[in-house]
Chains A and B, each alone.
Chain A
């Protein structure tokens, strides 16, 4: 029951997005920050990206993304940094590896099988 209430609080607190004082003056960098924000998961929230979450960790991650952008780092560098700290779970599109390759391979093989099934000649 306590756990349940705990989650309810998270659910409700996430309903707000980015705060005005976080937004960068430089529009190009801000757009880049948004792009990165959409690909990172807020770790304590229930399946939300950091862009639209009000959780503490999401705020911190938004901040560090912006700081690093202003330092002149590229999107890849920033993603790599956060990935190295938080692991695969933080990335919304997982890296291509032997344990994730099924994610792409399965749908493609399914598509080929299905096409074959429909259009095979008898």
Chain B
């Protein structure tokens, strides 16, 4: 009984210690290994942008961003670099065309298509909780989600994950 108690005690301390190493603010995506959600929104050019556009490709990147989001500017050069090898689709959250166009003009566009998420509901559909967020989609399944700006140090992960079979 005595020993059992001490084992339990040290077990609790161990858990608390392990807990210290974890970041409580990190929220995993619930869409990993699932089929991408269905959607149909207007693109920047006024056309239709749907889930079929993403499913047709072997590997694609889907990036949620906005011109009003400062960290999105930080990750922009990395996206441009990635766009040489992999098609990147963007969804601009709560962004007006007149703000977005000059922003893209200035920085260059890595995106094949940009969907306009005017009311922010498409972001909820994808479980996005902050900008920017980036998904890697393979054969219509969500493979990976990255929260926050893609830094130079993250490029390696992206390159490995998006290698074509």
Contact = CB atoms under 8 A, between A and B. Distances in A.
Interface of A: 43-44, 56-57, 59-61, 63-64, 67, 82-87, 89
Interface string B23-64: 000011111000001000000000000000000000000000
A44 B130 contact: yes
A85 B127 contact: yes
Given A44-B130, A87-B127, A60 B120 contact: yes
B1 interface: no
Contacts of B119: 63
A56 B130 CA distance: 8
A64 B117 CA distance: 14
Interface of B: 27-31, 37, 119-121, 123-127, 129-130
B127 A89 contact: no
Contact of B124 (A44, A60, A83, A89): A60
A85 B124 contact: yes
A48 B60 CA distance: 35
B30 A85 contact: yes
A101 B129 CA distance: 28
B30 A63 contact: no
B129 A43 contact: yes
A57 B127 CA distance: 10
A47 to B, nearest CB: 10
Contacts of B125: 85
A85 B121 contact: no
Given A57-B129, A85-B126, A86-B127, A67 B30 contact: no
A57, A63, A67 interface centre (most CB from chain B within 10 Å) = A57
9 contacts: A43-B27, A57-B129, A60-B124, A63-B121, A83-B30, A85-B30, A85-B125, A86-B30, A86-B129
